[in-house]
Amino acid sequence: MKIRSDATLYSIGAVAIIGIISASYLAVKLQGKDLLIETLLQERNALLKEVNNSNAKLTLASTTIEELQTELDDLHEDLEDLADDYKDEKNRNEDFEDQIRALSGTLGDLDKLAKTDKELLAKYSKVYFLNENYTPTKLKEIDNRYILEGKKDQYFHASAIEHLEDMLKAASRDKIDLKVVSGYRSFDEQTDLKGQYTQVYGSGANTFSADQGYSEHQLGTTVDLSTPEVGGAYDSFANTEAYKWLQKNAYKYGFILSYPEGNSFYIFEPWHWRFVGTDLARDLDRSNDSFYDLDQRELDEYLLNFFD
């Protein structure tokens, strides 16, 4: 019985020891869990704090973005206003430049007009008088190849002679041999010529020869034309191909027939051609008008581009 009692005591002791060990283990285990929980709680709190800080930063960032967006919108509006102001200013500058150009053009035209001899489009034949001191601004000798054989040197207005030569060259290309019989004549030369005609024809000279001061030849922009075949027989020039060519083409080079058939100044003079500028010559040809039928104010409007 004693042995059984000891075994029992040993068993109880073992159980007690196991219980103590288990309790200790459990205590340690629980203590570890508490530490883990506390650690986790601390980490959670730290994370929450970071989240709160992040939310605060996001809120601040959102506010900043909204403010920047507002500033950007304001800047955009300012830029649009500046662009509109720039366009308005540019348009004003362009208008001002146009005005300056127009003014410069006007001043240039006025200067050009002031330098253009107003006598060049005046109506002389028995209408206006050209005084004895008048001479063209500059004369140039006509190339001898264009002068009718046997005639002396002839001169033409230097600023218009290219138009004359262009016409004579064009006629030559069309197999028309136009020649100049007479170009510029001074007041004194016209006096002598009219005196010679008067001696031969008497008062009849007034039908085909101008008095001194009334001759278009004194302007230096008029020529009497003929051909080698006709020579000085002016009356027969109207029946030549040369005259037909002039009727069709002379206006292109600025020349008009001063005294066509039926004019009230002189007899029909198919040989007598006056340079009046290409614009006026073209318009007269289109309207089938005569130079002397136009009002002087209408003629003067063509002075600006007379030599162009």
Phi, psi of 226 (to 5 degrees): -155, -170
> Is-contact 155 142, C-beta < 8 A?
yes
Q: What are the beta bridge partners of residue 220?
A: none
Flag whether pLDDT at 295 surpasses 70: yes
User: At 104, is the pLDDT very low, low, confident or very high (cuts 50, 70, 90)?
Assistant: very low
Per-residue burial over 41-71, b if 16 or more Cβ lie within 10 Å, else e, is eeeeeeeeeeeeeeeeeeeeeeeeeeeeeee
**Given a cut of 50, is residue 74 above it in pLDDT?**
yes
pLDDT digits (tens, 9 = 90+) for 8-43: 666 676 666 776 776 666 666 667 677 777 777 787
Q: Which CATH architecture has domain 118-300?
A: 2-Layer Sandwich (3.30)
Query: Where residue 257 falls among pLDDT bands split at 50, 70, 90?
Result: very high
pLDDT digits (tens, 9 = 90+) for 194-252: 566 565 556 554 444 556 657 899 999 999 999 999 987 788 999 999 999 999 999 99
pTM of the model: 0.64
pLDDT tens digits along 25-34: 666 666 767 7
Q: Does 159 score more than 70 pLDDT?
A: yes
Query: Which residue has better confidence, 203 or 275?
Result: 275
pLDDT at 92: 67
Q: Among residues 196, 271, 183, which one has the least CA distance to residue 234? A: 271
Considering Cα of 187, then 258, then 254, then 234, what sign does the dihedral take?
Answer: negative
Q: Give 75-97 pLDDT, tens digit per residue.
A: 777 777 777 777 766 666 665 55
Query: What does the block give as tokens for 192?
Result: 């002598």
The span from the CA of 137 to the CA of 173, in Å, is 31
